[in-house]
Structure 1
Amino acid sequence: MDTEKARLLELRKKIDELSYQYYTLDKPTVTDYEYDMMYRELENIEKAHPDWVTPDSPTQRVGSKISGGFEKYTHDRPMLSLGDVFSDDELREFDQRVRSDLGGESLEYVVELKIDGLAVNLIYEQGQFIRGVTRGDGVVGEDITNNVRTIRTIPLHIASDSPHIEIRGEVYMPITSFEALNQQRRDDELEPFANPRNAAAGSLRQLDPRITAQRKLAFFAYALGGNSGIEIKSQEELLQDLAQFHFQVNPEYRKFTDIEDVITFIHSWDDRRDSLPYATDGMVVKVNSFAQQARLGNTVKIPRWAIAYKFPPEQAKTKVLGISVSLGRTGVLTPAADLEPVHLAGTTVKRATLHNEDYIKEKDIRIGDTVVIQKAGEIIPEVVRSLPERRDGSETVFTMPTTCPACGSPVVRRDGEAAWRCTNPDCPAVIGEKIAHFVSRDAMNIDGLGDAIVQQLLAQGLIHDVADIYGLTKEELVDLEGFGEKSADNLLKAIETSKSVGLARVLFALGIRFVGAKAGRVLAESFGSVDALMKASTEDLTAIDDIGPRIADSIVAYFRDAKNQALIEKLRAHGVDMTAEKKTLINTTFDGEIVVLTGKLQMFSRKEAEQAVEARGGKCTSSVTKKTTLVVVGTDPGSKYEKAKKLGTPIISENEFKEWLER
C-alpha cells in the first residue's frame, strides 16, 4: 500500500512537471505516448483507491457539469480596470503626472503586452488552487472554478505556503485554437465567434467543463490580488516569481526609466503584433515599484500607477453594397452598411454599423461607395469614412424609411435626438429585443433563452411580453424545434431561478430608459420595493445621489404608463421578487461628509473603511476637491494629503477615524 501511494505521488509530480514543460514552456521532454502511459497508470491507481483522489490531481482537471448558473464571489481586493490612452502625447502626460505625484523622484516602468482576453482571479490556499473567479464588475465576479481547472497553463498547486494568495491574469484563446473552433462551428452550421476574446469569454461560461476543456484556452499571469505573507517589491520581481510558480508569464515585457524609451518599445510592435500567436489590443505601462504604486493609489475605477496604450484599430477598404435598417428594444432604427466581404483583424466583415442618419450624412456615405472600415474597440465593425474620389456616378444617397421595416407603422424623429423610432409600442421586433434584454446575463440571467428561442416563442404565440416567460410549460417547450425533455427542464429551472434575482436586476431588465445596472442598484437600495419606487415623485428621485433629472423623469413616466403598471402586476403574480434590502444607516456620524481615504490603512481594508463611512451617512470619493469635507490619512499618504493641507480640508488619522466609527 505504501509503495502504491508513493507511486501515485510520484506520478502526480512527474505529470505536473511534464504538463508545465508542454503547455507553458512549449518544450515537451517526452513523447505523447510516454505521457499517456503515465497518465493512465495514475488513473488506474486512483480508480482502485478513490479515497486517494484530491482536487489537485492531474486527473481532476475536467469535472462534471454544474446545474443552474454560476455563483457570485466578492473579490478580496477590487479588480480595477485600466485607463486608456491613444497617443504618444497622452503617454507623456501620464508620465508627467506620475512624476509630479511622486515629487520628482526616480522611477521605473515595466511595459507588458495587453492580452485581449478575460481577466480572472485565481485563489490559492497553502499552495493549492481552490477557486477561479471572473472579474465581473470589479467587485463581484462569477465562480468559474470548474472551468478554470481545465486550463493546462494554470497550475493546480504552487510552491507557496501562504494561507491565501490571489494570482490575477488573462485567460485567452490562442489564434490557432480560435481558428479551429470557428471552423468547427461553421461545419456545424453555427455562427462563428467574432474574435478570440469573445470565444474565450463564451468558453469560460460553459456549464459543462468538458466543453471548456475542448476549447484549449491558456492563461498569462501578471498581477497579485489579496495575499498573506507575500513580500514582493516590484512588478518585475512579481513576474519573475510567477514564472517560478510555473505560471505562464508573457516574455515580451521590458523595464525602462524614460518615457521616450517606453514609446519607442511600444511602436516596435506596430508591424509585428499581428505575427503573435494570441490577440493583443495594446500595451500596459506600470510603475515598477509597489511602494510607489501604493503612494500613487487608485481612483474609484482605475489605478493611477498604470495606463493602457491602445493600438490603433486595423482598417480595410471595401464597397457598400446596400444599407439596411434594424430595430432595437427602444424602437430605435439603426442603419448598417451591407459590405462586400473583406478580411479585417482576423475575421471576415460583411456588415458595419452606421449609427444613425446624421452619421451617414456627416460622412457622406452612399450606397455603392468605397469606404474605409475598422473595428471599434477591436470588436464592432464601423465605417470610418467614404472615398468620394472613387465614385463613378452610380452611387445613390440613402434616406431613412418613413415606416417601420418590421411592422409598417410610422417612424418619428423627436426634437434634439438623432434617432428615428417606431411609433408602435407593440412592434414585434421591439418586443423581441426587449425580451432578449430582459433575459440577458446582467438582467434576469436566464441561461438557455437565447435570441433564436425567443423568436420561436414569439412566432408560436407562446409569449407576448417578458412576463409571459414565467407562464411557459414543459409541454409547450418540448414541442419546439431543438427542444427535448432535458433542455425543457433546464430552461424552466433557469426561469424559476431568475425570479429571485432581486429588485436591482429587475429594474435594469425592464429596460426603463436611462436606467442601467448601476442606477438599478441605487434605486433598489433607496426604495426597497417596486411599490415604493412606483409612488416616487421626480423630487424624491433626484434627492438620491447618482439619480439626475433625466433618469428621474424617465422613471416617473415609465410607471405612470398603464401598460407598464399591468406588466409589474403580471410579474408579481408569477412570483418574481421585486424587493430589496433597503439600505439602512448604522448612525449618522458621517452624515453629509464627503470623505477621501489616502495612504495605507492598518486596521481596515479600503473597502471596509468606505462601507463604514457609507453606512453612517457619508460618501467616499477618490480625489480631494473643494467639495471634500474630510480626509482620513493612513501611512505614506502621498499627494492627496498634500492637496488636503493646501485646501485646508479637515484631516484625521486612522485612530481618530476609528473613534468616529465608535461614537
Structure 2
Amino acid sequence: MPSDSDQPSSKPAQRIEELRREIRRLDHLYYIEATPAVSDLEYDRLLGELKQLEDQHPQLQSPDSPTMRVGDAPVAHLNQVSHSVPMLSIDNTYSREELTAYFDRTEKLLRETSTDDEPIEWVMEYKIDGVAASIRYESGTMQMALTRGNGSVGDDITHNIRTIRDLPLKTATDDAPAILEVRGEVYMTNSDLADLNLRTTADGGEAYKNTRNVTAGTIRLLDPAIAAERNLRFFCHGVGETQGLKATNHIEFLDEVGALGIPPTPHVQLLKNSKAALDAVALLEEEMPDLPFEVDGIVFKVNDFAQREKLGIRSKSPRWLIAYKFERYEAVTKLESISVQVGKTGTITPVAHLTPVDIADTTVSRASLHNADEIERLDVREGDTVVVEKAGKIIPKVVRVEKHFRKGDPPKWEFPTQCPQCNTPLVRDEGGVYIRCPSPSCPAQLRQRLIYFGSRPGMDIDGLGEEVVDLLISHDLVRGYADLYRLTSQQVSDLVWPKKRKGKDGAMIEVAFGNANAEKLIKGIDESRSRGLARVLSSISIRHVGPRVASVLTQEYGSVPELSNASVEDLAEVHEIGEAIAISVHEFFASDFGRELMMQFADAGVKLTEPKAERPDDGHPIAGKAIVVTGTLKHYKRDEIKKLIQSFGGRASGSISKKTDYLVAGEKAGSKLAKAKELGVKVLTEDEFKAMVE
C-alpha cells in the first residue's frame, strides 16, 4: 500500500476537479451552445492552471481531463465521422516574451532532431475568429465536411458547407490531388452580420452578438436553406489527409489550393527567420482595421513540411505552430458625426465622432473609419448605432453598424472630392484604397509633417511640439521644413500664443512665448542639423520611407547626388528595397519639390551625407559582389548556390541592374542574360563560377 506521503493532498485534488468541471461547462457553452461565457484570455488561464496542477501531481491526471483532448463531443443531431488525420488545436500565448521563447525552443528542437543546420522560415497569418472545419475533396469533387469536434471525431456538416459560395463543389482545375483535405475557418463578415441582424429583428427575432456565435450555430443547422441565406465564407489555412499534393511547404500549399479555386487565408507573410517574424507582427496589426472579418490573433507556422515532420506534435497541438493572441474589447455607442483629417502624406482619413463610451478602461470618443471603401463596406451613416472594438494596443475601430436600430433612411455619407484644407482635387491611389491630397503645399499636410519632423522618431527637435508648430504656422513664420533653420530667438520670443488659464473657468488668455522657450527651441533646431541624411529622409514624409528604409538606402547611397542619379531599377536592386519604395524615392528626388527641399537643407547647413556600409572583403573574389543566378544549373540547386554566395560575403540578388557585378548563367538562360549583355554585366558560366569560389 502507498504511504500517506504518496497520497495527493485534498486541496490540489479538489481544485483540479473544480477546474475540470468549470472548463467542461465552458466548452459546452462555447462549442455546443455557441454562447461563450468568458473571454479567451480567462479560459486559457483556467486551462493553464489545470495543466500546471496536473504536471505537479501526475498521480491526479485522468484520461478524461480537458487537458487531454482538443475540443468537445459532437452535437447529437448530426452524424459523427472520424477524422482521417486528427484535427488538433493550436497552442497560444498573449506575451511577446513567451512568443520569443517559443521560437527559441522550436529552433533548438529542430537542431537536435536534424543532422543539417537548417534555418526555419516562418509563415505569419491572421487567426480568423470563426469556426474550424475540415473539407474533403476526392478527385476534385467535394465529398464531406466535418467540424473539429473532439479532434478525432467531428460532426458531418457537408450539407451546410456546400452552401458557401466561395467554396467550389468541384475544383477549378482537373489536375486536383486524388485526396485533398483542407482545414480552415468558416466565418462571416461584419457587414453580413449587420444585414442578418436587420432581417432577424424585422421578423421579431433577437440580434446576434457577434460573427463567431452566428457562424457556430449556422454550420450545425439541419436546414441548409437557412445556412445559404446567411452568406458564410471559408478561408483555407491547413491540410489534413492528401494523396497527390505537390506542395512541399505552406506557401506552395496556399498557392496550390488557390489555383484549385479554394480561397486561401489572406495577408500571409513569409519571414526568413524568427527575428524577422517578431519584427513583422506590426505589419499585420497595421492592416487589421481594414479587414472586413474578425481576427483574434496572429498565427506563426514553420513553412517547410519536412521540418514540421521532424518537430512532430504534442498530445493536443503541433510543435510547429503557435498563435499570438490579443484580448478584444467591444462596446456599443452612437456615431454622432463623420469628419476627415489630412495626414502628413496627404492621406484623407474619415473619423467617426462617437458618444463617449468606456472600452478596456479608457474613454473612447473617436475612431478611425480608415478609408472610403471601409465606409461603403460598413454602410455607416451619421446617427447610426455602431459596435466599436479595441483589440490589444490597436486603436479603436468601428466594426459593425447595428442596422436594426437605424431609424428611417438617413442619407449616405459622401466622401469629399476636394481637400478640406486647401481645396485641391483629391486623387485615389492607383490600384489602392486611399484617397489623397496631392498638393505638397497643403497647410494640413504641412502641420502634420512638421509635427513628425520635430518628433523623437524624426529629427528629435527639443521644444517643437504640436502647440509650437501651430504657433509658427499661424504667424506665417514656417511654410516648410527648411524655414525652421532660418528662425531666430528674437522672432520666436516675441510671439504671443493662446493658453488655457488654470482654475475653474479655464478661460483662454494670451501668453508671451518668452526668451527661455525661444532659446530652447532654437538650440534644438541647431542640434538637429547634424543628424545625417538617413534621419532627414525618414523625417520628411516620403511615402514608404521610415527609419529602416532610410538607413538601408543611405548605406548604399551616401549622399543626395548619388540618390538623385539612381534609377528605379538601381534603387529596387538594394536589399530590402522593393519596386514600390524605389518608385516613391525616385519620384521624390526627381520632383521640383524634392530637389528644392534638398537645396534648402544644404543652404541651411543640414548634414546630407551618411557613411556607406563597409562591404565585406576577405580577399575572396565574390566578397561584396552583387550576383544574379539564372537558367538551369547542373552543379547546384538554386537555394544552394545562393547560400554559397552569401557564405563568401556576396549578395544573391534576383534582378539585373547596373549595380550587378556578375550574372551566373546556366542552361536556357533567357531575358536576364540578354539584359546583362545590354548593361555590360560580366557573365559567368556555372563552371567559371565554381572555379572562382573554389
Q: What's the TM-score, normalizing by structure 1?
A: 0.45
- Specify the structure having the higher radius of gyration (Cα): 2
Normalising to structure 2: TM-score of the pair?
A: 0.43
